[in-house]
Amino acid sequence: MVYSGRFILRDPKGNVIWKAKTTINGNVDYTEMLDTGNFVLANTGSNIYKWESFNHPTDTVLPNQVLKNGERLTSREMQNNYSKGRFQLHIRPDESLVLHTIIPESAYEYQTYYNSRTYDRLNKKNSSQRQEFGYQGHLFIIGHLHKQCRPVGGGFCGFNSFYVSKGGWPTCECPPGFPESAENGCVQEKVHNCELGDLKPEQVYDMVTLDNTYWHTSANYDVVQPTYEENCSRSCLNDCNCVVAVIKGWKCFKKKLPPSNGCVDSTVDVKAPIKIAKSGKLDKQVIMVGKSNKIQGDSIMLGISACLNILLIMAALIFFFFFFSHRMRRKHSTKSSNILGTNLHSFTYDELKRATDEFKEVLGRGAFGTVYKGVVSSSMHSAIAIAVKKFDKVVEEGAKEFKAEVNSIGKTHHKNLVRLIGFCDEGPNKLLIYDFMSSGSLSNFLFQSLNKPDWNLRIQIANLYLHEECGLKIIHCDIKPESIFLDNSFTAKI
């Protein structure tokens, strides 16, 4: 419909979901979708359209549609989000077609990386990229396989994944044992553990060989030669640090976490045996049973039958006491959660006090509080390590910092952001509960660890921290190695 000289589109509830940028002068008699795909507003008896969609392109160019000088194609932000994205194609006044990235909020244009006035030759040593419009209307930049495996960084697909070309289109896939989607990051299903107790490696792991697959720049911490496939696979299986090996010729290159810059290339004669945990074999309970078999004795506790009745009575009294106390605290915590407007788990102060063993182990200190290590039980009755941030000075500034951190981080989800699990807000006791980062902070890994990372791995961790894929932009204001943490897969998180 046309309202106040502007063409607008409303949903069934009357809300405006789209409107034309330009105003329309005069009356409109009818609208029509032409066979060319051009949607027009026109008057009877006139060959001049009052408004047409071909003059206002978004992210799609149809056959017979002309992209005029000054008109731009802008990609959408995501597949189901039609907000402006980061890529833009347009014709400059000098009639050159250019492609570049932009900052959607300010429309600032970065340096052009495609220009129709430039050209290159396609050969084995130097293959230029081509542009294709996909079925979603996106402009894809497609390159040959060997150009995607660069000598530094995490590669085209990042850590724990590999690049494969399917029908000329680039695809990122997760290897076996890393079941999550490549777009959200491939995470190891079972973290490798060198403490197997009485179990042998072949009882815990399987070795699966991937053909024509290699990890180009992943660190080689050991090379076995001369060797063959079975020998290389067995060597990686018995080495607790080895997660994948690459067999090339008579050499076996063993690699540890995180494997980076993975590629599948049918022209390269390589094999990659990868270590995969068998179902259930790496559960802590199985390993602890294996250890406990060594120390089990024939000792029997005496006097249990005599004390059983007393213990039952005491347990009943304690249960009722904590039951009513817990209900009262939950009421208070629920009010606090509603005020903050989040869906995070609300902990009581006593729960966190027990989880941290009276706030015993200190992980770090900041301007507003101290971070302690703790352990809580999940819904599956397994122990989960957590990091508890306790605000020491509950003054007005500290209270504002507490609510700001809950509201901002609690609504932000990103693979390079430490996940906020819950909080506690009981009067002066204000605490935040995060996932525990088992590899510690980046500063410890760089300056205190005996096993310092090579420079390729440092560059990879730094590249991940750029978090270009985050929809909600984050301004940290205190970037330093102590603020960056590493999980089991060496993924950088803040």
End-to-end CA distance of the chain: 48
Q: pLDDT confidence of 288, banded at 50, 70, 90?
A: very low
Across all residues in the chain, what is the average pLDDT?
A: 73
Distance of alpha carbon 51 from alpha carbon 91, whole angstroms: 21
Identify the structural domains of the chain with CATH numbers, from first to last. Answer: 2-55 (no CATH), 74-130 (no CATH), 162-287 (3.50.4.10), 325-435 (3.30.200.20), 442-493 (no CATH)
What is the pairing mode between strands 262-264 and 162-166?
parallel
Question: What would the two tokens of residue 261 be?
Answer: 């810059």
Letter for the amino acid at 377? S
Average pLDDT over residues 1-8: 68
Whether the model clears a pTM of 0.85, i.e. scores above it, the answer is no
Residue 437, pLDDT above cutoff 60: yes
Residue 474, pLDDT above cutoff 90: no
Letter for the amino acid at 275? K
Residue 155, pLDDT above cutoff 70: no
What three-state secondary structure class fits 481? helix
pLDDT digits (tens, 9 = 90+) for 13-66: 888 877 777 777 777 888 888 988 898 888 888 888 888 888 888 888 787 788
Q: What was the pLDDT predicted at 145?
A: 44
- The answer to whether the CB of 222 falls within 8 A of the CB of 209 is no
- The answer to whether the CB of 175 falls within 8 A of the CB of 148 is no
Question: What would the two tokens of residue 266 be?
Answer: 């049918």
Identified catalytic residue from 35, 94, 120, 478: 478
Residue 208, pLDDT above cutoff 50: yes
pLDDT digits (tens, 9 = 90+) for 380-426: 557 888 999 988 766 556 567 777 777 777 777 777 778 888 888 88
- The answer to whether the CB of 170 falls within 8 A of the CB of 156 is yes
478 is an active site residue: yes
